[in-house]
C-alpha cells in the first residue's frame, strides 16, 4: 500500500523500497527514518516537498510534486480567475523560483521550492 501525507503531495511505496536509507539522509525535516537498515515514513506532514528524497531514491519508491510555484502568479490567478502561470516572476516570494535565469518547465522534481536558504541553511534565498 502506498503511504502518504494529507497536507502535501508526498507518496511512498514500501513495496518498492530497498531500505538504502538515502531518503533519510537527504531529508532536511526527518520525514523518513532509518534504523537497523529499515526505512520508515515517520513524519509525512513535515514534508516541504523539496524533492530530494525522490531524486535520490534509486528504485522510484518515492513521489512528490516539487515544482516552482510563483506566489505572485498564484495570487493573480486566485484574484482574477486566470489560469496560473508556470513561469518565473523573478520577484521572490512564497515558494518562489529564486532569481536568475528562466525556469524551465519540467514534469517532476526538476525545480522545487526550497526558498528559505542561504549559505547552506535557511535564510535569504538568493539574497532573499
Contacting positions for another protein (CB under 8 A): 7-9, 22, 25-30, 46-52, 55-56, 58, 65-69, 71, 74-75, 78-79, 92-101, 103-104, 106, 109-128
Name the residue nearer to another protein (CB basis): 2 or 9.
9
* Least distance to another protein, CB of residue 53, Å: 8
Name the residue nearer to another protein (CB basis): 41 or 67.
67
Evaluate whether 88 touches 97 at the Cβ level (below 8 Å): yes
* Least distance to another protein, CB of residue 17, Å: 14
**Closest CA relative to residue 103, chosen from 75, 69, 72, 65:** 69
* Least distance to another protein, CB of residue 67, Å: 7
CA angle, residues 96, 85, 119, in degrees to nearest 5? 15
Which sign does the torsion angle of CA 124, 90, 102, 63 carry? positive
Kindly state the helix (H) or strand (E) to which residue 25 belongs, with its residue range: helix 22-26
Name the residue nearer to another protein (CB basis): 14 or 56.
56
Name the residue nearer to another protein (CB basis): 13 or 108.
108
Alpha-carbon span 77 to 97, nearest angstrom:
17
* Least distance to another protein, CB of residue 95, Å: 5
Amino acid at each position: 500500500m502506498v503511504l502518504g501525507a494529507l497536507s502535501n503531495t508526498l507518496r511512498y511505496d514500501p513495496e518498492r523500497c530497498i531500505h538504502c536509507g538515502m531518503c533519510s539522509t537527504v531529508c532536511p525535516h526527518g520525514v523518513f527514518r532509518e534504523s537497523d537498515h529499515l526505512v520508515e515514513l515517520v513524519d509525512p506532514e513535515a514534508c516541504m516537498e523539496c524533492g530530494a528524497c525522490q531524486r535520490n531514491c534509486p528504485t522510484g519508491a518515492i513521489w512528490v510534486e516539487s515544482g516552482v510555484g510563483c506566489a505572485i502568479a498564484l495570487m493573480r490567478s486566485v484574484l482574477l480567475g486566470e489560469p496560473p502561470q508556470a513561469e518565473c516572476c523573478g520577484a521572490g516570494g512564497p515558494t518562489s523560483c529564486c532569481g536568475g535565469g528562466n525556469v524551465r518547465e519540467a514534469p517532476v522534481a526538476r525545480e522545487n521550492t526550497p526558498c528559505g536558504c542561504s549559505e547552506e541553511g535557511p535564510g535569504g534565498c538568493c539574497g532573499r
